[in-house]
Copies of this chain bind each other. A is one copy, B any other.
């Protein structure tokens, strides 16, 4: 291999199962160390939403949920557990589409996705079914983790919290950023010249979403269990960014 990689992604192998109250910064630093990585200015740490949610205690035993009549009605229409639907509604600002087996909502954070991002896959379950909600404030979670990593190592890194969303018009899920700190969520390219000196027509890049998709690719899927990725070589402006930049305001959207 000749020239140095522009971009390298390392899915960390030593991340333990995460429980409520765990210190994510300590877990990330331990996993980096175990794999022989240091942390450098400009690195990006991407984390699967599930471990952030778990650490923040966002698991809810379904037995504790009392579904409203509205949730029961909606559950019948989409053929889902009414307690799960109650949680989905409590996390959402509007219901977008309902079909048998399908419940697409606009999450209170503005994300449009199935089941408000709540799932039961890869959630540690005892005897009781448990649902795992998205972090309450994923941009805030990313900022806290970024500050902790900087305090521990001195390195100025970005943190991206990722999830896998379905998309309109396209089959299959793709990694997207639900939380971001230390880099732009959205990159404004308006006015940047192209190769021929004209202004670019495509003016905004979903930078943190591309980071998320790349990290998702590196994490692999299913039973591999690699929920933290170190990305090195992402060119980005260091600033306080947010994944909220990627959410198109409802009044601007053409596909309500």
Contacts and interface: CB of A to CB of B under 8 A. Distances in A.
A245 B3 contact: no
A99 B164 CA distance: 30
Interface stretch (A21-29, A66-74, A189-197): A189-197
Contact of A120 (B120, B201, B248): B201
Contacts of A7: 8-9, 11, 214, 217-218
Interface string A201-228: 1101111011101101110111101000
A136 B192 CA distance: 29
Given A194-B222, A202-B121, A247-B170, A2 B213 contact: no
A2 B36 contact: yes
Question: How many monomers of this chain does the complex have?
Answer: 2
A153 interface: no
A254 B97 contact: yes
State which size class the interface on A falls in: 35 or more
Contacts of A37: 1-3
A124 interface: yes
Contacts of A111: 169
Given A6-B218, A170-B248, A214-B217, A223 B194 contact: yes
Interface of A: 1-3, 5-11, 13, 17, 35-37, 97, 99, 102, 104, 106, 111-112, 119-125, 164, 166-176, 186-187, 189, 192-196, 198, 200-202, 204-207, 209-211, 213-214, 216-218, 220-223, 225, 229, 232-235, 245-248, 253-255
